[in-house]
Amino acid sequence: QVQLVESGGGSVQAGGSLRLSCAASGYTFSNAYMGWFRQAPGKEREGVAARYTGGGVTDYSHSVKGRFTISQDNAKNTLYLVMDNLKPEDTAMYYCAASMGGWLEGLPLQEEGYAHWGQGTQVTVSS
């Protein structure tokens, strides 16, 4: 079955960087629609970055564009999210998600389009 395991979260000061990893198994990693989402306490989950692993198409939310980079390593079946210039408002639980059948209505950051989710990794940014 599909498994997604996130790692790499932690606590950093504002302006710092982190790299999140999502180790994937149970499907063809190099031909999937994948995304990173986050949920802060008291807020709805929001999509921050997405990537089609079969062609490199990517999308970012306005709030992270230019600071976050999504990438993949097919040899390791791993999706990454490099987060630079972190801000306190980036504090959240970060989740990796995957879809085998495409993005819902072609919207990469729409969470309803993802059938498989990891357990999440916490990112805390202090000012």
pLDDT band at 8 (very low <50, low <70, confident <90, very high): very high
Is residue 116 over pLDDT 90? Answer: yes
The whole-number pLDDT of residue 103 equals 84
Question: Could you tell me if 10 and 123 are in contact, meaning their C-beta atoms sit under 8 angstroms apart?
Answer: yes
Is residue 56 over pLDDT 80? Answer: no
- Alpha carbons within 13 A on the beta-carbon side of 15: 1
The whole-number pLDDT of residue 85 equals 98
Helices (H) and strands (E) in the chain, counts: 0, 11
The whole-number pLDDT of residue 20 equals 98
Quick: pLDDT tens for 80-109.
999 999 999 999 999 999 998 888 788 899
Quick: pLDDT tens for 9-32.
999 999 999 999 999 999 999 999
Give the residue-averaged pLDDT of 35-50: 97
Is residue 53 over pLDDT 80? Answer: yes
